[in-house]
Amino acid sequence: MTTVPGRSALGQARPSVFKAAVRHLRAYWTLVKSLQAGLLLVTGMAGYFSAGAASNGLGEAASLAASLFLAICGSTVLNMVWDRDIDAMMQRTCRRPLPAGTVGVREALILGILLSLTGVAWALMLKPLYGMVVFAGLFLDFAVYTAWLKRRTVWSIVWGGLAGGMPVLAGRVLATGAIDLTGLLLTLAVLFWIPTHILTFSLRNAQDYAAAKVPVMPNTYGVRTTLAIIASSTVLAALTMVLATWQSGAGSAFLWATCGLGTLLVISAILQVFLHSSRLNFILFKMASVFMLAAMAIIMAGAIK
């Protein structure tokens, strides 16, 4: 019986190459922080559909989703490249692809630049003002928040919040062709929501941030001040989201649903001021994301009704 030399070796090599490719793709997926990117993308879609743009057809909505997702992912990858040294110092982040060596720095940098350029270029082709807002979000997130302010001041979260508000504004701009009151209210709602999301997270990981010498509110101003800021920002986020829902023209049922969600979040934030438990802090952190996701879904449903 005649055998072909090396066939078994080739058969073994193919699965190993496939597994390596899958591992690499998973590492890329980790680099873009898919859950965070997905939440920001939902806000962008909510901004778009809040203007009654469902009648524009699937083509524009799909282009919005693709261009915005590429820009968000590109910004996130660039942030990962910049922060790889502090990520290596923290238990929470030391296993990320760059500090762990799963993905090379040059490779990640090229990926981040390509994703960012493609996303912004696509956005500009769709509508120049939309593209400018998408670029503003990318610039604020990477250049201002991450590269300039994150390691210098706890108040970098204000600029991070502005960056986080750009996707919803971009979606609204693509639908309306202008920056209007509803778009600004939605942007402010995200801006006021950011401290609730970020500061509850920094309370939970204060030691990690201290080890990496990244200034965060709990380590700089103390826990009580941090809790007061969380409660205040939560109240502002809830009120602004209710105003945005009302301004978008959603019906009373949708408005009351947003009021109910905001009330639950505010009560939890105020309870945390008085009780200050790590369990309640974790619950508030999770509730903040659920609130933003649900509130944006309500705005979309209210516009499509």
pLDDT tens-digit readout, 33-51: 999 999 999 999 999 999 9
Task: Confirm whether 9 is domain-assigned.
Answer: no
Which two structure tokens, joined as six digits, stand for 11?
């058969």
**Residue-level pLDDT at 305:** 65
pLDDT score of 29 more than 50: yes
pTM over 0.75: yes
Which one has a higher pLDDT value, 136 or 58? 136
Task: Confirm whether 153 is domain-assigned.
Answer: yes
Helices (H), 205-251: 206-211, 217-221, 223-247
Task: Confirm whether 270 is domain-assigned.
Answer: yes
Average pLDDT over residues 136-147: 98
**Residue-level pLDDT at 8:** 56
pLDDT band for position 52 (cuts 50, 70, 90): confident
Question: Are 54 and 303 in contact, with CB atoms under 8 Å apart?
Answer: yes
CA-to-CA separations, 103 to 29, 72, 119, in angstroms, rounded: 11, 19, 22
**Residue-level pLDDT at 27:** 85
Query: Helix or strand or coil: residue 83?
Result: coil
Angle value at C-alpha 65, between 62 and 67, nearest 5 degrees: 105
Angle value at C-alpha 18, between 103 and 94, nearest 5 degrees: 25
Dihedral sign for Cα 278, 281, 287, 293, please. negative
29: number of Cβ within 10 Å? 13
Nearest to 46 by CA among 170, 202, 220: 170
What is the percent of the chain where pLDDT is above 90?
A: 86
* Model confidence pLDDT, tens digit, residues 169-214: 999 999 999 999 999 999 999 999 999 999 999 999 999 999 999 9
Question: Are 159 and 197 in contact, with CB atoms under 8 Å apart?
Answer: no
Q: What's the DSSP call for residue 55?
A: G
Q: How far apart are CA 52 and CA 180, in angstroms?
A: 14
Q: How far apart are CA 70 and CA 114, in angstroms?
A: 9
Residue numbers of the domain that contains 109: 28-304
Nearest to 156 by CA among 214, 201, 213: 214
pLDDT score of 12 more than 80: no
Mean pLDDT of the residues in the chain:
93
Which region holds residue 4: left if phi is over 0, alpha if psi is between -120 and 50, else beta? Answer: beta
3-state SS string for 110-139: HHHHHHHHHHHHHHHHHCHHHHHHHHHHHH
**Residue-level pLDDT at 19:** 74
* Model confidence pLDDT, tens digit, residues 98-107: 999 999 999 9
Q: How far apart are CA 164 and CA 68, in angstroms?
A: 12
100: number of Cβ within 10 Å? 15
Q: How far apart are CA 170 and CA 184, in angstroms?
A: 10
**Residue-level pLDDT at 7:** 55
Q: How far apart are CA 183 and CA 190, in angstroms?
A: 11
Average pLDDT over residues 240-258: 95
pLDDT band for position 5 (cuts 50, 70, 90): low
Q: Which of 5-14, 153-162, 205-214, 272-281 has the lowest mean pLDDT?
A: 5-14
Q: How many domains does the chain have?
A: 1
pLDDT score of 286 more than 60: yes
Q: How far apart are CA 136 and CA 44, in angstroms?
A: 14
Token match 């934030």: residue? Answer: 269
Average pLDDT over residues 145-167: 97
pLDDT score of 11 more than 70: no
Task: Confirm whether 3 is domain-assigned.
Answer: no
Angle value at C-alpha 115, between 113 and 120, nearest 5 degrees: 95
**Residue-level pLDDT at 1:** 47
Task: Confirm whether 136 is domain-assigned.
Answer: yes
* Model confidence pLDDT, tens digit, residues 108-117: 999 999 999 9
Q: The domain that contains 202 carries what CATH number?
A: 1.10.600
Average pLDDT over residues 140-152: 98
Which region holds residue 103: left if phi is over 0, alpha if psi is between -120 and 50, else beta? Answer: beta
Nearest to 234 by CA among 261, 204, 257: 261
